[in-house]
Structure 1
């Protein structure tokens, strides 16, 4: 069922993820290695914008595997996550066959691969090639979808009543992300390895920013990371993500800003804070305006 190992060792995972643009700490590198070696799903929890989704994308880039993504949301059901039948096409076939065929013959003909619409979970299971399955923001779904995930991720197989059981030829590298907006079931957690990602230290974030924006002046990078840290200490609706730190760095570089003073911060604050109330609080609490 399984193919070649995803990573040869934690050091190999760290190196290859780094080459793909993802700076992994020791815990992340070890967990990424174990996810592939043990063929167990990985649950990554943490606040929004700390690199949970990007980790799955980085594994895809580092290993050359295709990424299949299931974006979770309230109201997601089995038909959108797993599979459904192309009812319009089936109806057309029924109408075309109705004159000369029995119902049993028509039934057997319309419940075939030709009429099956595969969704992300079934797509990932059926692929022969190396695949990274990203189940993004699983905490936004309800318990019924969790039950579906439990069934699929336990045995990596799906039973389609009309076609039989579909079993994975090669298990995908599975990453589930959660912003911890609700508690996930213990049953789901038991089947997963677990990794908690938080905002990085100032030193690591500076390394991330300068790696992504290599032309950024070192002094500006230090000022930017220090300011981001102060903003995250505030009680904001949405704290700046790592991606927004990088966007801010690119903004400052594009504007040829040499010093992140109060004027520069005031003019570019919208790059990192996307709510007017957050901007007002930042201006007031950090005294960004003179």
Structure 2
């Protein structure tokens, strides 16, 4: 094996089952529908648009692909006011000024030549979008555009060229095209609607909360050493919250994992109402939700779960 081959990332999965195995090898418990759309996105070299509530594992998919395929992960974290200079590129103005001063001191007065020089790629500061268009030794990188719904609609319009043609245009230089399309994962928590023009350029998948069986598998995978009874009760408690209570923010899988981890650190072997009330801050993130569940409501849920366990024996 030569050095160049050694630097290459792993081969892409060649079937849905291989995709499931790839995710599973990194501890990501996916359903077949997600594995199918991910396999197609990789096979068709299309961006994958993942929508769903916060904490259901959308961002983790990009991280898992980067780790299992041996590809660089380039992350663009979106926020209100995100612009081209932050997301794509900007000029190194300090270095440009130094170059201008040096040219003046040397008596170089050809303005056209100087302008062409200072607006060359050696003065370019690359941001995530431009980095994703560059060749990488390990192969096309995983390009994560995270929480796109937090960015402004104008930024969506800019992304259309990137998603359609894997290229970005810099007025002073021209068009820079990726030698191979990056593996693009776009996530949104649906705080606002994303324009259809962008969605049409992607394959789409809604990442939902897992059912009890899959969530239990996730918890036992992600929290080594968790007590079997405790993990079952934690998942049953969280599932009941999602189904029977209209909370301001339902707990995601990430919060379920955090809660199971916290209870394990506290050496708990099963749920009890007092400990549930004391640790709700790891599961729920709004005070109104915590106040609604802690105390008598937490005791009611725990007592009902224990009755169901006894009845099922």
The answer to whether the superposition gives a TM-score over 0.5 is yes
Distance 1:38 1:72 in 2: 26
Q: 1:278 aligns with which of 272, 289, 293?
A: 289
1:265 matches 2:276:
yes
| Runs (5+) with no aligned partner, structure 2 | 1-8, 304-313
Deviations 1:15-59 (A, max 9, x none): 011001111110111111111100000000011110110111111
Per the alignment, residue 24 of structure 2 pairs with 18
1:148 matches 2:158:
yes
Q: 1:208 aligns with which of 218, 223, 227?
A: 218
1:60 matches 2:71:
no
Per the alignment, residue 87 of structure 1 pairs with 93
Distance 2:10 2:150 in 1: 33
Distance 1:143 1:212 in 2: 36
Distance 2:158 2:299 in 1: 49
Distance 1:69 1:287 in 2: 39
Per the alignment, residue 176 of structure 1 pairs with 186
Per the alignment, residue 185 of structure 1 pairs with 195
Contact 2:277–2:295 (Cα < 8 Å) also in 1: no
TM-score, normalised via structure 1 length: 0.94
Q: 1:101 aligns with which of 90, 108, 111?
A: 108
- CA shift, 1:5, in A, is 5.7
1:247 matches 2:258:
yes
Contact 2:280–2:294 (Cα < 8 Å) also in 1: no
1:27 matches 2:33:
yes
- CA shift, 1:105, in A, is 2.3
| Runs (5+) with no aligned partner, structure 1 | none
Cα-Cα RMSD: 1.8
Distance 2:94 2:178 in 1: 29
Which stretches of structure 1, 4 residues or more, deviate above 6 A after TM superposition? none
TM-score, normalised via structure 2 length: 0.87
Distance 1:182 1:167 in 2: 30
C-alpha change, 1:70 and 1:169, in structure 2 (3 Å) is same
